[in-house]
Structure 1
Amino acid sequence: MEASSTARVICSYLDSYVGKNVIVVGKVVQIRGDEAVIDADGNITAHLNRGSHLAAGNGAQLIGKVNPDLSVKVLSSLDLGNNVDFSLANLVAKVSHQNKDLFIYD
């Protein structure tokens, strides 16, 4: 089996990862049943799984698959609490894409 990486993304990068797994770190803006809106430098709709226990206003890390409509089907989620530096999380995603040869491989 070949090694592959899971890219850290912000909202504007989702269209490059349709059908692939990604990591999203953002703020939980809203929860509606089994869906959440995550602000990761833009709003992303996340389809939560039964194991997702997120709280509105907190940070979250999601690992999931990008759907054709650019929503994310969550495979795993982690509530990061309310002390998250979102500008730093966004910067990490941006830097990893500016230096793909160091951070991202398939």
Structure 2
Amino acid sequence: MDVPPTPRILAPHLQTFQHKLVRMVGKVVQLRGETAVIDAGGNVDVILNRDCHLALNHAVEIIGKVDGNLHIKVQAATDFGTDVDFDAYKAVVEATHRHKEIFYDD
């Protein structure tokens, strides 16, 4: 099975990845029914699917498509708990964008 690349991004990268599948780690700061807000270098609205079971103040990895309003429509979400080093994750994201030819196609 050929899986499309999912570049790791943060909130400031949303505009660049409009209408593309991405991967993002952030802290759940708000839950509102079928949507949530995660802090991933800035607040990002995510549109949840039925399989999402997020918890406030937990880290979550989101895989989804960035829509025209810069929201992410979730395809998969993984709870990473409360012990996540967001500075390390930010460094990984910055490295992947500095050397994007290794990690994903433009």
TM-score by structure 1 length?
Answer: 0.94
Corresponding position of 2:70: 70
Corresponding position of 2:56: 56
Deviations 1:26-81 (A, max 9, x none): 10011110111011111100000000001010000000000011000000001110
Corresponding position of 2:6: 6
- Runs of 4+ deviating beyond 2 Å: 1-4
How many angstroms does 1:103 deviate by?
Answer: 1.1
How many angstroms does 1:94 deviate by?
Answer: 1.1
Corresponding position of 2:31: 31
Q: Indicate the percent of aligned positions where both proteins have the same amino acid.
A: 42
Corresponding position of 1:19: 19
Matched positions, count: 106
Q: CA RMSD in A?
A: 1.6
CA distance in 1 between partners of 2:2 and 2:83 (Å) = 36
TM-score by structure 2 length?
Answer: 0.94
5+ residue gaps, structure 1, are none
How many angstroms does 1:2 deviate by?
Answer: 7.2
How many angstroms does 1:105 deviate by?
Answer: 2.1
